[in-house]
Structure 1
Amino acid sequence: MELSTIKDAFDRVTKKQKSSSSKTQEVIDQIRQEIENVLDTMQSVNSTDHVLDHKTVLNELKASLLQTAPLSQMEGTQKELNVALSKYGKLLEKNFNTDISKAYRNIDIDVHTLNQIIANHFYRQGLFEIGDHFLSVVGEPESAAVMKSLFLEMYQILEAMKNQDLEPALKWATSNSDKLAQSGSDIVLKLHSMQFVKILQNGSRDEALHYARTYLSPFASSHIADIQKLMGSLLWTGKLDSSPYHALLSPSNWDRLAEELKRQFCNLLGQSYNSPLSVTISAGVQALPPLLKFMNVMVGKKQEWQTMNQLPVPVELDSELQFHSIFVCPVSKEQATEDNPPMLMSCGHVLCKQSISKMSKNGSKLFKCPYCPFDVDAALCKQLYF
């Protein structure tokens, strides 16, 4: 499917629509002007007590409108718009298959689990009322109460941060400091650093120094550069915006800190940062077109792809949707599996185990690498782990 072709057709429809709308407005303005002229004439005649047949004036207006032919003027541009819309609709039907039922396998779905996933998606987006209503409709009003309360706490912290109130975030970070440290997170330092800058900007150097000694000194050995930068900013108390450290006041710092807190909060919950439902839908949107195309080919060959253990064609996804490494053997074009893992040859190239076995006659002889003139001993090949 060529998206550029669809875009060009859409642009033509938009252009025709604007032209038709402009012409219609022009005709309406013309009719309005004719009517206003007639009304002015009739009012002028009444004010001077002249006798004038109003019917004659209206007949003149009718004759003028018939001569103007407003409908005929609009028919041309409207016809062009209708033609463009018709062609655009046919183009969409040609390029977008609305029947996707053949592109997925019929499997038994645990409805309860699916409801949990949908409700949790609403809760992790902060849409608590929608999540509650959804569970009420499907008859499971109490099934996600725990997860809701956890995400409710997160959004209460984030809402406070929007108002530059770090107390709820600091309280949460302090109570989970050990777990955060184990995961390698430095968000506790970032929160205290932001609070330090906030105190400093308010003009209290002594208070800021006391805060640093109390909460920042434990990080001095592991984050010396960050601590030195904050200590240097003490010289510009109350005027950071005109100092070499003005970047500390950037509003984007609050946005990044909020995103980091959300990420670490989800991490401690054992949840992914991105909603599993949104990730699944994003992957499905990308995978659907090649699957539909493949389905049409298989229907022509009278083969049932749902019985296959592996698709014979790759389905490419964006890097952010790839959560583990995938190796496809350049010789057999098959994806590596536990039974057919990738093997590193002595020349540095990688093939799947079965390809090496076939080329070496089950390891009975040396074989030449298909990508370089190196002779390879199958016994010296090493399995790779991605």
Structure 2
Amino acid sequence: MELSTIRDAFDHVAKKQKLCSSKTEEIIDQISQEIKKTVADLDSLSYSISPDNYKSILTGLSVRLSEIGVLNHLDVSQKELNAGMSNCLKLLEKYFIPDISKAYRIVDYDMHTVNQIVACHFYQQGLFDLGDCFINEAREPEANTLRSPFLELYQMLEAIRSRNLEPALKWAATNRDRLLQSGSTVEMKLHQLQYMEILQKKDKGDALKYARNFLAPFASLHMAEIQKLMSCLLWAGRLDCSPYVELLSPTHWKELPGELTRQFCSLLGHSTGSPLSVVIEAGAQGLPTLLKLVHVMAARTREWQEMKQMPVPVELGREFQFHSIFVCPVLREQGSEENPPMLMPCGHMLGKESILKLSKNGSRLFKCSYCPLETSVDLCMPLHF
């Protein structure tokens, strides 16, 4: 709705600007014609004619220019254009330059944690010099422990760009057990790429030796993939016209840095995306709703500051949903610390407030809303997602 309003306002200004320009050109043409006509009249006079004739011609020019009303026409069209421009600026300020400080709530932040998040963001983006500078200025020397793991990651990624898999293979071998526990196949993919690199150099002997040493341990989990790789030996030197040409696709190399980063961050206990980036992106999406809420609650500032739960839903994309959400099917309210989901003996769930209302604050048995089973509050257990 806001974008449509702004687009209409700008279209209106564009039309006014074209009209103003067209009107100005028309007036300039009229003035030019009158001046040319006057010059021609003056040239046609002989020098013997009295100066009064010259004065009469020039006076006529002045009268005709006054009749055209140059200043009046330009003033009207320019005022309309200025009014449209002013309206556009007001709309931009209203929708795109709000005072976001109004949506701020007084929160006691742990600055040590905030500093670590910021430093981690810099290191996770590969901005090591900036991260070091921030740590020194924030006086967070213990945050230096965040640097070395991400430095190792970026050294691996830099090597991959040069088609050097050795650092990544070394890291994968060191963390093999943890990668297997998480179901990761990144080590197998690394060995597959290394094997294909060797085979493309038309050295079947080295490729077979590499397979025996490094692919054989994965036979129990990746037999089908290994069989394809072994079949590639028969097509050495002409893999580009073999049934296994897909194994040469550059896509494997393009996707490898992203997958390696995900697995690396997972083992560190970090999310792949920077927490700081996630907070900023989520805040940008939720900010319009918060600003509208603050405007509505302008007379209740204290209530806004003390509010523990938003009175309206703040819609964010699915990429910002990190846990399950429970909404009580009876009261249609989202679960909270004060109103957690409760599991009944029959396996169905209701909000705590619903259970208390149905049981008259625990004074009697109540019937499940989904099945005939009767139960009591004492037999209901809180659930934690």
| Global fold match (TM > 0.5) | yes
What is the match of residue 198 of structure 2?
Answer: 199
Cα distance in structure 1, aligned partners of 2:248 and 2:6: 43
Distance apart, 1:269 and its partner CA: 2.1
Distance apart, 1:126 and its partner CA: 0.9
What is the match of residue 62 of structure 1?
Answer: none
Aligned to 2:350, the other structure's residue is in SS state strand
Q: Rate the CA distance shift 1:344–1:223 in 2: closer, same or farther, 3 A.
A: same
Cα distance in structure 2, aligned partners of 1:17 and 1:250: 55
What is the match of residue 243 of structure 2?
Answer: 244
Q: Rate the CA distance shift 1:248–1:340 in 2: closer, same or farther, 3 A.
A: same
1:149-168 matches, within 5 Å, as 149-168=148-167
5+ long unaligned stretches in structure 2: 26-73
Q: Deviations over 1:149-171 (max 9, x none)?
A: 22122111101101111111111
Q: Deviations over 1:210-268 (max 9, x none)?
A: 11111001111111222122222222222222222222122221121111111122222
Q: Rate the CA distance shift 1:262–1:172 in 2: closer, same or farther, 3 A.
A: same
What is the match of residue 266 of structure 2?
Answer: 267
Q: Rate the CA distance shift 1:102–1:375 in 2: closer, same or farther, 3 A.
A: farther
Cα distance in structure 2, aligned partners of 1:18 and 1:133: 50
Cα distance in structure 2, aligned partners of 1:366 and 1:259: 53
Equivalent residue pairs, number: 333
Q: Rate the CA distance shift 1:112–1:382 in 2: closer, same or farther, 3 A.
A: closer
Identity of aligned residues (%): 52
What is the match of residue 128 of structure 2?
Answer: 128
CA contact (8 A) 1:343 1:352 kept: yes
Q: Rate the CA distance shift 1:110–1:165 in 2: closer, same or farther, 3 A.
A: same
1:377 aligns with 2:382: no
- C-alpha RMSD over aligned residues: 3.6
Aligned to 1:292, the other structure's residue is in SS state helix
Distance apart, 1:275 and its partner CA: 0.7
1:339-378 matches, within 5 Å, as 340-343=339-342, 350-361=349-360, 362=362, 364-367=364-367, 369=369, 375=372, 377-378=374-375
Cα distance in structure 1, aligned partners of 2:197 and 2:88: 56
Q: Rate the CA distance shift 1:15–1:259 in 2: closer, same or farther, 3 A.
A: farther
1:292 aligns with 2:287: no
Distance apart, 1:339 and its partner CA: 5.5
TM-score between both structures, scaled by the size of structure 2: 0.74
Q: Rate the CA distance shift 1:366–1:183 in 2: closer, same or farther, 3 A.
A: closer
What is the match of residue 114 of structure 2?
Answer: 114
5+ long unaligned stretches in structure 1: 28-73
Q: Rate the CA distance shift 1:368–1:186 in 2: closer, same or farther, 3 A.
A: closer
1:328 aligns with 2:327: yes
CA contact (8 A) 1:327 1:335 kept: yes
1:318 aligns with 2:317: yes
Q: Rate the CA distance shift 1:15–1:126 in 2: closer, same or farther, 3 A.
A: farther
Cα distance in structure 2, aligned partners of 1:377 and 1:252: 58
Distance apart, 1:334 and its partner CA: 3.1
Cα distance in structure 2, aligned partners of 1:89 and 1:6: 12
What is the match of residue 44 of structure 2?
Answer: none
CA contact (8 A) 1:366 1:375 kept: no
Higher alpha-carbon Rg: 2
Cα distance in structure 2, aligned partners of 1:307 and 1:165: 55
CA contact (8 A) 2:232 2:244 kept: yes
1:41-190 matches, within 5 Å, as 85-96=85-96, 98-136=98-136, 138-140=137-139, 142-190=141-189
CA contact (8 A) 2:115 2:138 kept: no
Aligned to 1:351, the other structure's residue is in SS state strand
TM-score between both structures, scaled by the size of structure 1: 0.73
What is the match of residue 50 of structure 1?
Answer: none
Cα distance in structure 1, aligned partners of 2:159 and 2:364: 70
Distance apart, 1:96 and its partner CA: 4.0
CA contact (8 A) 1:344 1:351 kept: yes
CA contact (8 A) 1:343 1:351 kept: yes
AA aligned to 2:271 is S
